[in-house]
Chain A
């Protein structure tokens, strides 16, 4: 059954089109004017042909002679009308495209501006894939009806002129037109209405096929190492077959309606011939009139479908518009204050009773600690205890649900826009590199000299491999820096932070892929810098560099103090930090024991598990 167009959708669709017309009135006007020219000349060309037939051709056939002047005039009239028609077609297509692409560009810019403006918390609530399709596919869908819109407007105009032209010829023949053209238009509306959900489903399945392939190939190593190729192929085949069925369903509808839409005007011409010949017999019309109307039917059969094209795009456009508006109207924001954080010296940091959660339960509870200017604090805790979340709060990627983060005594929320980035730099656990050069990735657009960049690379122990790259600082890193090893990527990210000479440096396990000897050199350099440092670490060499250690577990600060103090009084901390040593020592014992039998190894395991 054809879906009924809900009046709501139609109204919303008209609303979207009105937005477009208001945004680009001049271009819309030009495209409609060109389309009007196209309409007039289309009907005109049929009229001219009928007239030439009646005035020049038939008399010549009857009388057996023709004047060269009349023949030439007839031919020129046909060509002149066609010239203006071609002009109309070209103008209509060009301006329709121009308008569509300008609107796309405007809204793509607006959507990405929102992505950059909205707080990270908003990003956390929206999957990456969805945001990418909002900016791309959805924006495209919104303005898809713009392409056939001028033609549709022109067609309405064309139908009015054609109706007048036919009525002027003969009422009975016009009656055929009044039956056939609405029927063609209606049939096409039904067609597009039935096609559109099927086409949308095929489109959706294409996206799903792509998702399965993407995920499966990305996890190719897992598939291979576990020998799950059959399972994956079955998973993919299921989607591919659904897509096949959806495409065939589209084909069925197209296969049914396309021939009908073609046959209908043909039947119309045949009806015109039949009724026309009767009218001719009565002397109500001439042969030229008959040719004129029959030709008009042939010419109108195609453009009249444009009405259906616009209507077909409307539901998709409305859905796209709702999604795009969802981004544009998102209100969440990270308001900035006026305060500046000035001063060349290291920053003081205070975290006071901070609570934070991503939705289900809190990740951090009542976290408090301070970092004196120039001091280094290590944050230590088991996997999944909320350390990375804490680092995000320190540089105000997110705001705490309760409590305060203070820099130099100023609430981070009161600092002016950009003020925190000048003061504090975070090097996250997972490195993100831009599709840019080495230089671009380090400076991120800041005006910095080559010396400053090399200086930072040296401090991050990255100068060696960067110098060895084919174009040095200007080497393009490509898609997410895949050409570099994990350790190299981490060192570039570190250089990106250091080049800004931050007064507070936050390192989230930022050297985990770097060889120990290289890491030792980096840390030595950092100790000599003047910044305050917060470092998340497991390696004891890193922890012992810190003036103070904050030990977290399950999102709470369990203890604070120097490494020695914590070793002394906190059992959990001791277990975590000395795990390898203890293991090493007990191995010495268990090795001799386990030689006596496997049973002991099992009891060892249970002990370890506690």
Chain B
């Protein structure tokens, strides 16, 4: 009798353990299905980046709430710090995806390659690395932003014989600066009626935009338009123009899509009549979609370049809800 009880108890215990083990295994399997994503960002050095950090955090949190992924997010001060952060992420055995917006794509190439080689899927955002060892590259079309601005400018001055302009760049020589510069220059430089008077660095902010523009104004008596690479730079340049009391500037274009820029374009009373934008919220959404698509199908397009929008008075209202500050 005793033996029977012991045997029954043992059998019951085994059943319970098997069930428990089964539950753990299936829970693990279930958890394994949900991708774990690490997000590494640069410092929020301007309004666009600050808004992007906010947007990707918000959208990742929403996705986590829906139970489709789990994530961890970390911003870095510089390229060296970002390298350390990525190495730390890589050492986590549960990591499935690394989403990285590099401080500097070239500097982070070796680190990102190492992560990719270890079997983790890597989504590079906005600033590309100098290697093919990545799952996908998601970026706004900076070259297209330059093209859009140039086409708008060409159309705006179609009836003028000679057009003098200045260029406010943003951290001259960086990848974004060169893309925006080349997109604009490849079109404008082919048209001999456009005369480049000079350039200065607006550094993606209004104070530098103000100082750069005030120097350009002092050096040039007649400027027809100002091409800037950034909306905050445009804000500073407009203040300098207003302060100098200059009324020769007919047009200033920007890039980015800030609340101030869209308001000025909507008002239509000043020279700020156009900006070219790709919005932080769009990029965050595309990055998350890319992760979920790959997690489900194991396939993804290698390069996801999304369109930039030329924003003028005609269509500005469509973008008001995406504007950032």
The judgment on whether A and B are partners is no
Q: Which residues of B contact A (CB under 8 A)?
A: none
